[in-house]
Amino acid sequence: TCPQCHRSASLDQRGLRGFQRNRLLEAIVQRYQQGRAAAAAKCQLCDRSPPEPAAVLCEQCEVLYCSACQLRCHPARGPFAKHRLAPPPAHPGAPGGGGDGKGAGGGRKLPTCAEHDMENYSMYCVSCRSPVCYQCLEEGKHSKHDVKALGAMWKQHKAQLSQALNGVSDKAKEAKEFLVQLKNLLQQIQENGLDYEACLVAQCDALVDALTRQKAKLLTKVTKEREHKLKVVWDQINHCTLKLRQSTGLMEYCLEVIKENDPSGFLQISDALIKRVQVSQEQWVKGALEPKVSAEFDLTLDSEPLLQSIHQLDFIQMKSPVSVPPVPLLQLEKCCTRNNSVTLAWRMPPLSHNPVEGYILELDDGDGGQFREVYVGKETLCTIDGLHFNSTYNARVKAFNSSGVGPYSKTVILQTSDVAWFTFDPSSAHRDIVLSNDNQTATCNSYDDRVVLGTAAFSKGVHYWELHVDRYDNHPDPAFGIARINVVKDMMLGKDDKAWAMYVDNNRSWFMHCNSHTNRTEGGVSKGATVGVLLDLNKHNLTFYINGQQQGPPAFENIEGVFMPALSLNRNVQVNLLQSCPTY
């Protein structure tokens, strides 16, 4: 009976020699012995101590020489010219090597069938879990068994073992990191324990002599607490180190097994080895790589009782009073701007124990004015849209909890883009709108007019953009202009009070706002036409162009607020957005 797996096996007349030999393990041991033996071969004529490693062996002299001694004592001339020089022997015995007939460059003899000495293993019986030869199959011993090609099963089991090793390797890596964490925890416990001791001594020394005996008791409690934590951590380190050593040894053995090219020998042990690897992986249960104790000492000394209560003085297990949160740290590498949007990111400093319930992000007006709150919440990443182009904003953040509001962070300065790059916005477009060309080309599935907006919002400065008419069939009336974010999107642009537009056919154009048509102007559009939109928020007006020609006076006056480029069209029109010009 096997003492490890407790399985019983029947022996035939050969006794223990009837068991199959673990040829893979023999090959691994032999390879390492040869490597050590080659490294141990030393020059036999060196005056140095220790002698230099041997470089050659003279087969006639039967002497090992290093490179220097060979040139000095065994030159390649005269009677030595016919001597044959060979590499150092694989075994450190007699200079001739004394091996088993397998040189360093010789190949390993293919294993033969245990029952048919003249036949090599060529198939694998899945039912018996052993390699077999063709003669075994012809004799009918495995006629009803599942028999597969030896090479295919070898590759399959190798792949299974490699896959199982990946899991153990990951756990071993986690274990190494965990050991580093535990050692750091030891140092933190030592430092925190010393800090608590120093604080305790300072408090007790300030008291009257009546506290002396009680001080000793309290110091003992702190020491016991520290020793308890240290013992728990050391126990975890020893336990984890043992598991890691076992896993590492198993990994190294498995890797050596995988290097072997003996399919039959590999398949003899692959099933058991795969199970051992899986069991090794399962021993890293959830929570095994987490410290059982913390580095903190939750001990607070109450030093304000009356003198008659000194002898009852003891530690009270309670957390420190909750204080306001510390200063948040802005993560400058994650803070950025895009068009007229800014993104800010922050985090709390490490080793901060005060709870945080939320954050308050403040931004000025882009012109050095007062700060205002733009975000209140628990997230540590925030994007603010709809800011002014070509403006410099100052931002700061603070944290708060039930005890109050903490101090502000350092101020970060962010510059919005001086050029507005935008495309059509698929998220806010009507569902009948069809966008392509990276959202720069728009058309429609419906014969009714539908609205699509741009991705940029303008609130000050001068902005100009152009749209190219790629397709124009059956004289439709596309409309070009600006709109607020809540414009109605299932009718022509300009029919409600949220849009200002110019709609145009093949002969003339009109301005429209609140369904009021004004300023009819000759000159329409066709395929290939270019429509320009000039939004001047410094003068608060809007001007339109067709093929470079201004369509009447500025279309609308006294325009104020936040506006987005807008377009309405039906299925007879396709429009391509040409990128906008700089913002002034």
| Distance of alpha carbon 317 from the chain centroid | 39
Q: Looking at the structure, do residues 278 and 164 belong to the same domain, yes or no?
A: yes
Q: Are residues 446 and 369 in the same domain?
A: no
Q: What distances in angstroms separate CA 127 from CA 114, 153, 258, 268, 277, one per listed residue?
A: 18, 13, 23, 13, 22
Residues 530 and 564 in one domain: yes
Beta bridge partners of 315: 301
Given pLDDT bands bounded at 50, 70 and 90, which one contains residue 236? Answer: confident
Would you state the pLDDT for residue 209? 64
Instruction: Calculate the average pLDDT of the chain.
Output: 83
75 preceded by a cis bond (ω within 30 of 0): no
Mean pLDDT of 353-382: 91
| Residue 210, amino acid | A
Q: How confident is the model at residue 572 (pLDDT cuts 50, 70, 90)?
A: very high
Residues 440 and 502 in one domain: yes
The residue out of 415, 441, 467 marking a domain boundary is 415
Residue 516 lies in a domain: yes
Q: Check whether residue 449 and residue 518 sit in a common domain.
A: yes
Strands 358-363 and 372-377: antiparallel
234 and 350, same structural domain?
Answer: no
Give the model's pLDDT for residue 582.
46
Q: Residue 577: which of 411, 431, 425, 441 has the closest Cα?
A: 441
Q: What is the pLDDT of residues 87-107, one digit of tens each?
A: 886 544 444 444 444 443 444
One domain, residues 351 and 399: yes
How large is the average pLDDT for residues 134-158? 83
pLDDT digits (tens, 9 = 90+) for 270-319: 888 888 888 888 877 777 788 888 888 877 776 666 555 666 666 665 45
pLDDT digits (tens, 9 = 90+) for 327-362: 999 999 999 988 888 999 999 887 677 889 999 999
Q: Give the chain's end-to-end CA distance (angstroms, integer).
A: 90
Residue 489 lies in a domain: yes
Which 3 state secondary structure label does DSSP give 376? strand
Question: Rounded distance, CA 511 to CA 541, Å?
Answer: 13
**Confidence (pLDDT) at 512:** 92
Asked whether residue 384 carries a pLDDT value surpassing 50, the answer given is: yes
- In a domain? residue 124: no
* pLDDT beyond 50 at 583: no
162 and 253 together in one domain: yes
What CATH number is associated with residue 499?
2.60.120.920
More confident residue, 21 or 125: 125
Q: What does residue 343 show for φ and ψ, rounded to 5 degrees?
A: -120, 130
Asked if the structure places residue 499 within a domain, the reply is: yes
- Residue 107 lies inside a defined structural domain of this protein: no
- Percent of the chain predicted with pLDDT > 70: 88
What's the pLDDT tens digit per position in 500-532?
999 999 899 999 999 998 888 888 999 999 999
In this structure, is residue 301 part of a structural domain?
no
pLDDT band at 545 (very low <50, low <70, confident <90, very high): very high
Q: How much of the chain, in percent, has pLDDT values that exceed 90?
A: 28
Say whether pLDDT at 320 is over 80.
Answer: no
Maximum average pLDDT range among 108-117, 126-135, 525-534: 525-534
171/77 same-domain check: no
Query: At residue 38, does pLDDT exceed 70?
Result: no
In terms of residue numbers, what domain contains 409? 329-415
- Cα separation of 503 and 525, whole Å? 10
Last residue of a domain, one of 90, 106, 127: 90
Please work out, in degrees rounded to the nearest 5, the angle formed at the alpha carbon of residue 298 by the alpha carbons of 293 and 299: 135
Cβ pair 324, 406 in contact under 8 A: yes
- Would 44 be classed as within a structural domain? yes
d(CA 466, CA 548): 10
* Total count of domains within the chain: 4
Is it the case that residue 435 has pLDDT exceeding 90? yes
DSSP assignment string, 100-144: -S--TTPPPPPPB-SS-TT-B--EEETTTTEEE-HHHHHTTTTTT
Beta-bridge partners for 549? 546
165-222: pLDDT as tens digits: 888 888 888 889 889 888 988 888 888 888 778 877 787 777 666 667 777 888 888 8
The shares of helix, strand and coil residues in the chain, as percent rounded to the nearest 5, are 30, 25, 45
Contacts of 275 (CB under 8 A, 6+ apart): none
Q: Is the pLDDT of residue 84 over 60?
A: yes
Q: Please determine, for residue 324, whether its predicted confidence score (pLDDT) is greater than 50.
A: yes
Asked if residue 468 and residue 400 are part of one domain, the reply reads no
Say yes or no to pLDDT of 322 above 90: no
- Residue 67 sits in a domain whose CATH number is 4.10.830
CA distance readout (Å), 174 to 169, 187, 245, 247, 280:
9, 20, 13, 12, 14
pLDDT of the residue at 193:
83
Choose the final residue of a domain: 90, 112, 144: 90
Flag whether 189 is in a domain: yes
For the segment 466-499, what is each residue's pLDDT rounded down to a tens digit?
A: 999 999 998 899 999 999 999 999 999 999 999 9
Whether residue 574 sits in one domain with residue 508: yes
Are 253 and 356 part of one and the same domain? Answer: no
Average pLDDT in the 34-60 region?
A: 81
394 vs 459, residue with greater confidence: 394
Q: Which CATH number fits the domain that encloses residue 352?
A: 2.60.40.10
